[in-house]
Amino acid sequence: MAKVNISPNRTTDKTIRTIDRKREQERRKMFMRAKDHAPEFAAKLVQRLIDKEIIETTSVSEMRVAFENQLNKLGYIEEFELQMKIAPVRTIAQDPNVVSLYFTQYIVEDLIEHPAIKDIFGDDLDIYRAVDSVFRVLRE
């Protein structure tokens, strides 16, 4: 019987593809959970950011609607757009939650332009920690 030659490169490639596939599945599940529970997550996130004194707003309801809209869009965002969005904060944590990274960057870049926002306080890590404290349940 002929000996099967197992190439280390082939085995490595297979392992990498398996890991990537698992990450993609985990990300899709997190996006779907976030979308399915968008009103609850939006309310919790706004409350947490206000409690931690990260955002100062004139309208809590407008912030809730803005976050809910982002949660609903999350499942439809293209991979390239997602990677470009989270690139500046990708190294902020050891094993970051992609939803928390996305919302951290959304708050830092886009939310500051919202008419109901007076000011945003704290650095990227403070914002990430507050956001991740809400979205941590998505990984379970």
Provide the residue-wise pLDDT of the chain in tens; the chain has 140 residues: 455 555 566 778 888 888 888 888 888 899 999 999 999 999 999 999 999 999 999 999 999 999 999 999 988 888 899 999 999 999 998 888 999 999 999 999 999 899 999 999 999 999 999 999 999 998 87
User: What's the full length of the chain, in residues?
Assistant: 140
* Residue 81: CA count within 13 A, CB half-sphere: 7
Give pLDDT, residue 39.
Answer: 96
Q: What is the CA radius of gyration of the chain?
A: 18
Domain boundaries along the sequence of the chain: 27-139
Query: Beta 55-57 vs 117-120: how paired, if at all?
Result: antiparallel
Residue 11 to residue 85: CA distance in whole angstroms:
32
Kindly report the pTM of this predicted structure.
Answer: 0.84
CB atoms within 10 A of CB 46: 22
